[in-house]
């Protein structure tokens, strides 16, 4: 499949999603569909899909203890073991997972190998992907957290604190959020490396572009809505609160840009459980990261440990008894 | 071997640009020198592999069973239900590409399908087609492709171009382990009767004779007696090597390569000398005469079947615990699988060193100790007299074998032994050792001669690092703790960086070991004059 | 091994966090609290329509500031061609003298903290002085 096609289809899909909310101009019932029904369906898809996928994973057992070990094992008392990279107890595993989830520890190790003249391989640190990925995920988290101002009343104080931290800069009278900038830059980087790097381009699927374009769409619509195409923020919050209290009411003054933003967000969260974005809960399930390197000290149980065909010693000796006896190797049966 | 022999300069001209077109079109060109021959019918039958037949990867028609599609899809379903890792690793990859240049086969070949991510996508694309709604609905746009004969051929090519070394899994942000993917792929290939000679041959031999090399018991005994004779020639000490001895304290299991192949043979001499010197009450076994486990390269059930002999034999002989020799994938099985496969080993006792009294807490359930752990403990407690100057002609570097490194974390013990047994030790660059170590390129059953070009390509990163320390420090000895390393490094280093030899850690130890009552040694274990010009050697630090 | 407990526990935590607003609002008991800005009688309508003002009052204030302070032009021609004196005290505060009851209500509700008041000191205006009602 042509690479351009892999980008064009997702781009077309996102464009359609941006145009769909124009239907809200038809009147209050169309507005109700976009403001209430679609988001509710998306939330239902998100939660049920998420739980379904996680439960499906959990239904398969972990038959073997297979951590990827990155440090000295715990063996002799005088050899210092690597508590994090060769975790021996639950605390160590928790710490290893914490560093993995919050700081992308494995990706931090990233290097690049270059083959230069004289059959020499040169390794260099390559932390751009780590930095871009970390910047994107943390910004996304902070932005989602900031959105709690729409979903809590009175506003959840930590959301206010984080908002204040995030708004250190102002442009004219408007508050500019640092995270808005960072997420735009990092998403652009993540998108361009999929287009520019020949290898990453080669491995990218349409779904990789779709995820990036959808999130870019959400971010751009959000930023534009804050800065240029204003919406009635008050009406937005009243809508959110009305939905949380199960008495949905739509204010007709809310504004088209909001519906575009909401449409993209709804699609994103509905798509989440059925996409690679499930790496979020997935990392917690990863047996190479969440297991202890103690497999010789504690027996790991495999629930389907079925018997297999074995060649017993008796069968072996039956075949080789004569030469064994001739060679003076002890045997069980003399005949 | 390649049609036209490539010089190292030519082979190192690697083009990393992916070809035009889409990877989803299967690659089915089997280039000479880069693939393994199919398993002969008799070996397939000996292991009772499904759908056995005589065939050849170069054939146009692979004579796949008519229902191969159902067999593979059914096999996928069954395995997805059994292995969380497989299900998860098919689902959560984001294709970030961090793994790409971590694979020695990609670095050495530039073939994009040797990027771990794409190797897995070869399976994922089929998984999506038959197991996910998006793949079913969108087809190629959803990253899904139909399973056909070409895909099977492509799997055979690329799942036997992965040495299951787990290096990519260390760098993957989600810990996706291509070893698991490759194991999954090879199990599926087994179902439709596609396996390689170099894996199935040794595995079927091991099943019957107890070891990969098909050494019958009497020949093994001869081999051990020959080893004792050699030791006597070198040290003047006559050693009786115990074999199938009931009531011994310890069963010693080592890869069968040690019994015949050089340079692994010299490691065997080292073990026997060590055990004699400390007066260990141990025994070799002819039935469990293989530590390695080529069943692992076929599938979990075959690994379990071959591994079962170790516990069975230790029960029969009534030993207290088991000691394991130097081997890579052997220790993957012993450390991460054996107890689960064939345990509990509760008829054994928690391993205690009879010499130092050290309790091996880390092996208290499996009851199996790595020889490096055992020896390092001996040296630490000053139980061995060592003369490292006997190794002075070697400038040594250490290759962390993939499995003891990334599946076990055995880093310090072998280094400790080398440092006590040798005077000149140099580490390779940090991106190529310990958990980042590079495979020799021949692991996981990729070692046959017909696959030589791919082995050399896969070995390039490791060889390049060896070359670096050879040129910088004059390193001329690569120490390692893996039987496949010992078989694959001599040709690999000869090709990429001549002048560096290969040895097991316990060969170096055997050289340095001062044995009670030994005569003045004139040669090392290789029969080469000990320290030509020893005096100059000592000042050359 | 299935880690059933850990998986179910994890899913429970996920659900709790995912539905945080639901139980937070229930616990706070202020679910129905609407922002209720108090407007004093002065004129039928603000300088522009209510719909426009609710979205763009910040832009408008910024435009007024620039026009009055930087260009010295204190006349605003609204979209209905009415003219207004550009003056915070003279025009805005005439109908909205009550920061706490007008500005702050929505600003607090939506958790916005505009920096107008960094410079503009708006004295508290007791209701009885103005004699206004809702």
Q: What is the DSSP string of A93-154?
A: HHHHHHHHHHH-HHHHT-EEEEEETTTEEEEEE--HHHHHHHHHHHHHHHHHHHTHHHH-SS
Q: Is residue B414 part of a domain?
A: yes
What residues 244-273 of chain A have any CB closer than 8 A to a CB of chain B?
none
C7·A58 Cβ contact <8 A: yes
CB A180: neighbour CB atoms within 10 A? 22
Let me know: does B518 contact B274? Beta carbons within 8 Å: no
> What's the CATH code of the domain at B441?
3.40.50
Phi, psi of B178 (to 5 degrees): -65, -25
A244·C31 Cβ contact <8 A: yes
Phi, psi of C79 (to 5 degrees): -70, -20
A245·C25 Cβ contact <8 A: yes
CB B461: neighbour CB atoms within 10 A? 29
Which of residues A164 and B269 earns the better pLDDT score?
B269
C46 — alpha (psi -120 to 50), left (phi > 0) or beta?
A: beta
- Split at pLDDT 50, 70, 90, the class of A182 is very high
Confidence check: pLDDT of B265 > 80: yes
Within 8 A of A58 by CB-CB distance, chain C residues are 2-4, 7
Within 8 A of C31 by CB-CB distance, chain A residues are 153, 241, 244-245
Residues B291 and B220 grouped into a single domain: yes
- What angle do helix axes B68-82 and B84-91 make, rounded to 10 degrees? 110
Q: Is residue B202 part of a domain?
A: no
Direct distance between the N- and C-terminal alpha carbons of chain A, in angstroms, rounded to an integer = 69
Residue where a domain stops, chosen among B362, B380, B398 = B380
b (16+ CB within 10 A) / e for B333-355: bbbbbbbbbbbebeebeebebeb
Q: Please tell me if residue C32 touches chain A, with a CB cutoff of 8 Å.
A: yes
B396-399 vs B368-370, strand pairing mode: unpaired
Instruction: Please give, rounded to a whole number of angstroms, the shortest distance from the CA of A151 to a CA of chain C.
Output: 6
Confidence check: pLDDT of C31 > 80: no
Which residue in B23, B166, B339 is closest to A300 by CB distance? B339
Q: Is residue B226 part of a domain?
A: yes
Which residue in A278, A310, A332 is closest to B92 by CB distance? A278
Residues A206 and A333 grouped into a single domain: no
Residues A286 and A317 grouped into a single domain: no
Within 8 A of A153 by CB-CB distance, chain C residues are 25, 28, 30-31, 33, 109
pLDDT at site A1: 61
Instruction: Please give, rounded to a whole number of angstroms, the shortest distance from the CA of C124 to a CA of chain A.
Output: 23
B501-504 vs B477-480, strand pairing mode: parallel
Residues A293 and A319 grouped into a single domain: no
Element (H, E) at C103: helix C103-109
Within 8 A of A100 by CB-CB distance, chain B residues are 173, 175
Residues A80 and A15 grouped into a single domain: yes
Let me know: does B285 contact B310? Beta carbons within 8 Å: no
Question: Hey, which chains touch C, using 3+ CB pairs under 8 Å?
Answer: A
Q: Is residue B201 part of a domain?
A: no
pLDDT at site A172: 61
pLDDT at site B299: 94
Instruction: Please give, rounded to a whole number of angstroms, the shortest distance from the CA of A61 to a CA of chain C.
Output: 5
Confidence check: pLDDT of B540 > 50: no
The CA-based dihedral angle spanning residues B411, B414, B416, B422, taken in that order and rounded to the nearest 10 degrees: -140
Residues A221 and A207 grouped into a single domain: yes
Residues A104 and A15 grouped into a single domain: yes
What domain range is B179 assigned to?
Answer: 8-30+50-194
- In sequence order, the 6+-apart residues with CB closer than 8 A to the CB of A77 are none
pLDDT at site B531: 63
Mean local confidence (pLDDT), A115-138: 89
Q: Is residue B268 reached through a cis peptide bond, with omega within 30 degrees of 0 on the bond before it? A: no
Confidence check: pLDDT of B233 > 50: yes
- Split at pLDDT 50, 70, 90, the class of A278 is very high
Q: Please tell me if residue A221 touches chain B, with a CB cutoff of 8 Å.
A: no
Structure tokens at A9: 């289809």
pLDDT at site C125: 58
Which of residues B95 and C41 earns the better pLDDT score?
B95
What residues 153-192 of chain A have any CB closer than 8 A to a CB of chain B?
none
Domain count, chain B: 3
> What's the CATH code of the domain at A29?
1.20.950.20
Which residue in A298, A304, A324 is closest to B365 by CB distance? A298
Mutation choice for A interface testing from C2, C21, C58 by most A CBs within 10 A: C21
Bridge partners, residue B386, by sequence: B513
Residues B346 and B432 grouped into a single domain: no
Direct distance between the N- and C-terminal alpha carbons of chain B, in angstroms, rounded to an integer = 41
**Could you report the per-residue pLDDT of B343-382, keeping only the tens digit for each?**
999 999 999 999 999 999 999 999 999 999 999 999 999 9
Confidence check: pLDDT of B490 > 50: yes
- Split at pLDDT 50, 70, 90, the class of A154 is confident
Question: Hey, which chains touch B, using 3+ CB pairs under 8 Å?
Answer: A
Q: Is residue B524 part of a domain?
A: yes
Structure tokens at B322: 């088991």
Confidence check: pLDDT of B473 > 80: yes
Residues B400 and B369 grouped into a single domain: no
CA gap A113, B168 in Å, rounded: 13
CA gap B508, B525 in Å, rounded: 9
Mutation choice for B interface testing from A11, A59, A69 by most B CBs within 10 A: A69
Which residue in B48, B102, B407 is closest to A309 by CB distance? B48
Residues B393 and B374 grouped into a single domain: no
A284·C10 Cβ contact <8 A: yes
B368-370 vs B282-283, strand pairing mode: unpaired
CA gap B352, B349 in Å, rounded: 8
CB A56: neighbour CB atoms within 10 A? 15
Which residue in B98, B341, B434 is closest to A107 by CB distance? B98
B501 — alpha (psi -120 to 50), left (phi > 0) or beta?
A: beta
Q: What is the mean pLDDT of chain C?
A: 82
Residues B178 and B232 grouped into a single domain: no
A244·C58 Cβ contact <8 A: no
pLDDT at site C40: 75
Let me know: does B205 contact B488? Beta carbons within 8 Å: no
Residues B135 and B176 grouped into a single domain: yes
Burial of C58 (0-12, 13-18, 19+ CB in 10 A): middle
Residues A289 and A334 grouped into a single domain: no
Bridge partners, residue A114, by sequence: A122
Instruction: Please give, rounded to a whole number of angstroms, the shortest distance from the CA of A161 to a CA of chain C.
Output: 10
pTM of the predicted model as reported, rounded to 2 decimal places:
0.92
- Split at pLDDT 50, 70, 90, the class of C30 is low
Which residue in C15, C33, C65 is closest to A153 by CB distance? C33
Let me know: does B416 contact B377? Beta carbons within 8 Å: no
Residue where a domain stops, chosen among B128, B160, B194 = B194
Residues B215 and B190 grouped into a single domain: no
Residues B289 and B326 grouped into a single domain: yes
Residues A323 and A256 grouped into a single domain: no
Question: Hey, which chains touch A, using 3+ CB pairs under 8 Å?
Answer: B, C
Residues B427 and B349 grouped into a single domain: no
pLDDT at site C133: 41
- Which residue is closest to B77 within chain A, CA to CA? A60
What domain range is A198 assigned to?
Answer: 3-304
pLDDT at site B533: 54
Number of Cβ pairs closer than 8 Å across A and B? Answer: 324
CA gap A41, A38 in Å, rounded: 5
**Could you report the per-residue pLDDT of B323-340, keeping only the tens digit for each?**
999 999 999 999 999 999
pLDDT at site C131: 43
Mean local confidence (pLDDT), C13-29: 90
**Could you report the per-residue pLDDT of C71-109, keeping only the tens digit for each?**
888 999 988 888 999 988 888 888 888 888 888 888 888
CA gap B324, B345 in Å, rounded: 15
CA gap B355, B223 in Å, rounded: 27
Residue where a domain stops, chosen among B134, B169, B194 = B194
- Split at pLDDT 50, 70, 90, the class of C33 is low
Structure tokens at A163: 């908002």
Q: Is residue B2 part of a domain?
A: no
A51·C61 Cβ contact <8 A: no
Residues B177 and B151 grouped into a single domain: yes
Domain count, chain A: 2
Which residue in A172, A232, A301 is closest to C55 by CB distance? A232
Within 8 A of A198 by CB-CB distance, chain B residues are 16-18
C30·A151 Cβ contact <8 A: no
Burial of B483 (0-12, 13-18, 19+ CB in 10 A): buried
Which residue in B12, B88, B380 is closest to A57 by CB distance? B88
Residues B524 and B421 grouped into a single domain: yes
Let me know: does B101 contact B168? Beta carbons within 8 Å: no
Specify the residue for token string 């299991």: B253
Which residue in A50, A58, A170 is closest to C2 by CB distance? A58
Mean local confidence (pLDDT), B44-50: 95
Residues A242 and A226 grouped into a single domain: yes
Mean local confidence (pLDDT), B108-127: 96
Bridge partners, residue B321, by sequence: B250
A62·C34 Cβ contact <8 A: no
Number of Cβ pairs closer than 8 Å across A and C? Answer: 103
Residues B232 and B185 grouped into a single domain: no
Instruction: Please give, rounded to a whole number of angstroms, the shortest distance from the CA of C48 to a CA of chain A.
Output: 14
> What's the CATH code of the domain at B244?
1.20.1050
Confidence check: pLDDT of A115 > 50: yes
Mean local confidence (pLDDT), A243-248: 90
Please give the distance of CA B441 from its chain centroid, rounded to a whole number: 10
């Amino acid at each position: 499949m042509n690479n351009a096609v892999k980008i064009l289809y997702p781009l077309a899909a996102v464009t359609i999603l941006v145009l769909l909310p124009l239907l809200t101009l038809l009147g209050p019932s169309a507005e109700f569909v976009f403001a209430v029904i679609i988001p509710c369906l998306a939330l239902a898809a998100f939660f049920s899909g998420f739980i379904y996928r996680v439960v499906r994973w959990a239904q398969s057992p972990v038959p073997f203890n297979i951590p990827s070990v990155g440090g000295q094992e715990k063996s002799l008392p005088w050899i210092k073991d690597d508590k994090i990279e060769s975790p021996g107890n639950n605390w160590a595993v928790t710490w290893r997972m914490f560093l993995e989830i919050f700081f992308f520890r494995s990706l931090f190790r990233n290097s690049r190998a270059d083959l230069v003249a004289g059959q020499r391989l040169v390794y260099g640190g390559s932390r751009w992907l780590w930095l871009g990925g970390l910047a994107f995920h943390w910004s996304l988290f902070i932005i989602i957290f900031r959105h709690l101002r729409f979903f809590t009343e009175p506003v959840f104080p930590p959301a206010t604190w984080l908002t204040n931290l995030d708004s250190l800069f102002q442009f004219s009278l408007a508050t500019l959020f640092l995270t808005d900038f960072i997420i735009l830059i990092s998403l652009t980087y993540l998108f361009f490396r999929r287009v520019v790097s020949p290898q990453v381009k080669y491995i990218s699927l349409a779904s990789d572009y779709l995820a990036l374009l959808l999130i870019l769409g959400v971010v751009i619509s959000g930023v534009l809505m804050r800065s240029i195409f204003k919406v009635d923020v008050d009406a937005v919050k009243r809508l959110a609160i009305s939905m949380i209290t199960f008495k949905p009411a739509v204010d007709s003054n809310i504004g088209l840009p909001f519906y575009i933003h909401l449409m993209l967000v709804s699609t994103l969260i509905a798509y989440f459980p059925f996409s690679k974005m499930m790496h979020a809960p997935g990392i917690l399930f990863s047996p190479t990261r969440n297991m202890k390197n103690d497999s010789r000290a504690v027996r790991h149980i495999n629930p389907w440990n079925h018997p297999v065909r074995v060649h017993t010693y008796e069968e072996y000796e039956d075949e080789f008894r004569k030469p064994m006896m001739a060679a003076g190797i002890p045997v069980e049966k003399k005949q | 071997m390649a049609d036209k022999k490539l010089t190292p300069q030519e082979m190192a001209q690697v083009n990393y640009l992916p070809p035009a077109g889409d990877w989803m079109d299967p690659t089915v060109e089997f280039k000479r020198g880069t693939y393994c021959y199919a398993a002969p019918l008799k070996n397939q039958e000996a292991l009772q592999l499904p759908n056995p037949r005589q065939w050849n990867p170069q054939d146009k028609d692979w004579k796949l069973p008519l229902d191969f599609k159902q067999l593979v899809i059914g096999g996928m379903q069954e395995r997805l239900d059994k292995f969380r890792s497989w299900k998860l690793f098919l689902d959560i990859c984001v294709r970030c590409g961090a793994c790409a240049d971590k694979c020695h086969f990609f670095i050495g070949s530039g073939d994009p399908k040797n990027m771990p991510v794409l190797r897995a996508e070869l399976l994922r694309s089929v998984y999506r087609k038959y197991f996910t709604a998006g793949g079913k609905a969108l087809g190629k746009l959803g990253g899904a492709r139909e399973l056909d004969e070409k895909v099977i051929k492509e799997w055979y090519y690329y799942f036997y171009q992965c040495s299951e070394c787990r290096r990519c899994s260390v760098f993957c942000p989600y810990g996706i382990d291509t070893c698991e993917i490759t194991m999954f792929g090879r199990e599926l290939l087994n179902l439709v009767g596609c396996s390689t000679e170099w894996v199935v041959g040794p595995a079927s031999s091991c099943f019957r004779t107890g070891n990969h090399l098909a050494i019958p018991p009497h020949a093994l005994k001869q081999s051990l007696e020959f080893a004792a004779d050699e030791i006597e020639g070198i040290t003047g000490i006559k050693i009786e090597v115990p074999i199938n001895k009931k009531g011994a304290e310890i069963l010693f299991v080592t890869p069968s390569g040690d019994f015949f192949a050089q340079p692994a043979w010299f490691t065997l001499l080292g073990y026997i000398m060590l055990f004699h010197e400390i007066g260990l009450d141990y025994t070799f076994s002819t039935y469990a005469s293989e530590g390695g486990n080529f069943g692992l390269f076929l599938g979990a059930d075959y690994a379990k079947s071959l591994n079962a002999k170790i516990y069975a034999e230790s029960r029969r002989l009534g030993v207290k615990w088991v000691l394991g020799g130097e081997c890579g994938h052997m220790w993957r099985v012993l450390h991460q699988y054996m107890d689960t496969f064939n345990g509990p080993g509760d008829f054994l006792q928690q391993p205690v060193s009879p010499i130092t009294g050290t309790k091996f807490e880390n092996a208290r359930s499996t009851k199996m100790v790595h020889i490096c752990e055992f020896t390092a403990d001996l040296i630490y407690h000053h139980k061995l007299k060592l003369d490292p100057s006997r190794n002075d002609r070697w400038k040594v570097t250490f290759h962390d074998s993939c499995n003891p490194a990334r599946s076990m974390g055995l880093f310090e013990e072998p280094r400790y032994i080398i440092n006590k047994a040798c005077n000149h030790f140099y580490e390779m660059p940090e991106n190529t050792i310990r958990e980042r170590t590079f495979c020799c390129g021949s692991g996981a059953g990729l070692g046959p001669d017909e696959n030589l070009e791919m082995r050399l390509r896969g070995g390039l990163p490791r060889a390049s690092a060896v070359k670096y320390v050879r040129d910088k420090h004059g390193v001329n000895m690569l120490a390692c703790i893996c039987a496949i390393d010992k078989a694959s490094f001599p040709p690999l280093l000869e090709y990429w960086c001549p002048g560096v030899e290969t040895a097991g850690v316990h060969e170096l130890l055997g050289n340095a070991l001062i044995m009670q009552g030994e005569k003045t040694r004139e040669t090392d274990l290789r029969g080469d004059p000990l320290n030509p010009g020893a005096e100059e050697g000592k000042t050359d630090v | 091994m299935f880690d059933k407990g850990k998986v179910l526990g994890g899913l429970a935590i996920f659900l709790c966090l995912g539905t945080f607003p639901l139980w937070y609002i229930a616990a706070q008991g202020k679910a129905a609290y609407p922002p209720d800005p108090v407007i004093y009688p002065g004129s039928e309508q603000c300088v522009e329509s209510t719909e426009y003002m609710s979205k763009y009052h910040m832009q408008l204030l910024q435009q007024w500031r620039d026009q009055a302070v930087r260009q010295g032009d204190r006349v605003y021609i609204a979209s209905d061609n009415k003219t207004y004196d550009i003056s915070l005290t003279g025009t805005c505060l005439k109908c909205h003298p009550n920061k706490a009851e007008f500005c702050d209500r929505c600003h607090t509700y939506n958790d916005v903290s505009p920096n107008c008041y960094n410079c503009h000191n708006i004295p508290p205006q007791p209701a009885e002085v103005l004699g206004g009602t809702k």
